[in-house]
Amino acid sequence: MGPVLGVGGFLEARARSLQGNPRPTSPGRAGPVRSSVAAPDCCGGLGNLDFRKADLCIMTRLLGYVDLSEPHFVAAVLAIVFNPLFWNVVARWEHKTRKLSKAFGSPRLACYTLGGAILLLNVLRSHCFTQAMLSQPRMQSLDNPAVYHVGLALLGVGGVFVLSSFLALGFTGTFLGDYFGILKEARVTMFPFSVLDNPMYWGSTAIYLGWAIVHASPTGLLLTALVALIYMVAIVYEEPFTAEIYQQKASQAYKRS
């Protein structure tokens, strides 16, 4: 997404600068003649390109399309932030107290219930994400067939990672079964875990990114960046705790042997 957005935004800005400062042409030549004075653009010209300024320019242009106070956008932000917070808090509470397992009569049924709640929350998040995109302007530099097909490709790749992760882990493995004491016998190393860590999270991020690009939506791109950030925080928060659960399992097995 970064290269697509960066090139598109730069070319659009360059085109606007050239419209305001057309270069002279000479008779008998089809192409433009170089001018001794370069037309200004958002990044200071290719000869003086500063990538930090370019990134700032892109972000400024992106935010120019987005109304941060628009209700659908606010709802999408809240849904994106809330979902991982909810499942991590509930799962850790269950691991500490086992109250969900006691309330539902078994750890497996409790895990299925939490998994169902997470699925419903993710449907709500996707709905809020889509409504936020539809309520705000499209970006002209993304609204073309080539970029549209890039978005479709990202949707496909993300879907493959999400579905294959679910098939490799199963329902309880996907929806925090280890917090309920439902542990795998060994670490899953088959595809997609053989090519990517946390493929469920990154596949989901790719789906949101593809969905935003298909809609030529700067709002969707901004929300996708938030999705990726929240998932990175969740990974930092979850992985050490999950590793500790399996270390405890290994220690208990060693003592029994």
157 labeled part of a ligand binding site: yes
HSE-CB at 199 with a 13 A cutoff on CA atoms is: 22
Query: Is the alpha carbon torsion for 27, 33, 36, 41 positive or negative?
Result: positive
User: CA–CA distance from 238 to each of 120, 132, 148, 185 (Å)?
Assistant: 21, 29, 34, 19
156 labeled binding residue: yes
- Residue 238 marked ligand-binding: yes
Q: What is the DSSP string of 203-216?
A: HHHHHHHHHHHHTT
Question: If you search the block for the tokens 């917070």, which residue do you land on?
Answer: 85
Annotated binding residue 45: no
Measured on CA atoms in the order 164, 98, 182, 186, is the torsion positive or negative?
A: positive
Binding residue per annotation — 6? no
Note whether 116 and 90 are within 8 A (CB): no
For tokens 């998932």, name the residue: 231
Residues annotated in a binding site for S-adenosyl-L-methionine: 156-158, 238-239
Residues annotated in a binding site: 156-158, 238-239
